[in-house]
Structure 1
């Protein structure tokens, strides 16, 4: 996605407080947002240097690490996307643009025994994800609202071969050019709920062990 004001507003973003729009900052290490804190970029573009090439190579560094309860908002992540945003539970991500998704746009971190709580992701735009946008590596509940995604492999994916439970709520999202699926899991306990979902150029929407795991709400 380009950084035009038209595209920024296309997912309902507010211009209030966007004093850094049109400005950029180059970083060489992950920006850590401490527990309970908020990083408000006010529209700034973040460019990573020396943290990864934005391919599917493993061990790239994340642009942002959100500790438990942290919030990220009003940020444009430029290419290379590296390993995107890592969240550690009960986080909010609002009005973030991934211009060119790297390994993943956002990963819910943890393990099968560590519940990451609730993640709210809203008013975001993401483009050019070779594989997935959102990866869940721990049990969690994720609310996706007002998101535009284009040219992706998958919208959301649970770590392959895992059986823990995730709950995904997909609301008012527009998704185009999907190579694999909207949502995919190997777990028989994970559930996906959706409404107001517009999907184009996608052969298979859901890859779940059972169709009963997906429903409208």
Structure 2
């Protein structure tokens, strides 16, 4: 057995870092708005944003592939005006991963904001704080467990992506060949030794992530006197 090629893992972490950072910036104001809005369209919007959870990765991957291809308006715009080819490229993987992992960032943040004491938020508004100031300096510091869950689970979910990543990015070494795709290719050629090693690394990462989430939430509850 030759040494482990860590490039797919590093590429997975790079993809997860980009995806988590971008989704945090997108989902934070949206989760804040959804938690406070009284619009009748809220259930419709929540169902729409949660679709990636229930859609088969092949279905979601197909539509993302179609939307990012050079034949679509979006794909053509990026290619002609920005010189970026979204299909079978790392930027395309980032876009696809953001769409696929979006509810894993949005839902914990929204739930955290909805659990906040309304009187605390009203007091902030009465004190003259704007909506953005209330979000950043009052609401966000008081939903630390939800915030950590959103960030860590989104990162881990992106690292473990396979179906959407394979359809949109393919398997280009150093560009789109992430760890999950590498494992699939090892199994295809019946290289079970390397498949076991790569899978064991992924299991270890996933367990460490979940353990971190539960330990942090338990620690936070103890500080609040819940446990």
Identify the TM-score tier after normalising by the shorter chain: under 0.3
User: Which structure: larger Rg?
Assistant: 2
Q: Which has the higher helix share?
A: 2
Q: Could you tell me the TM-score, scaled by structure 1's length? A: 0.23
Q: Could you tell me the TM-score, scaled by structure 2's length? A: 0.22
Q: Which has the higher strand share?
A: 1
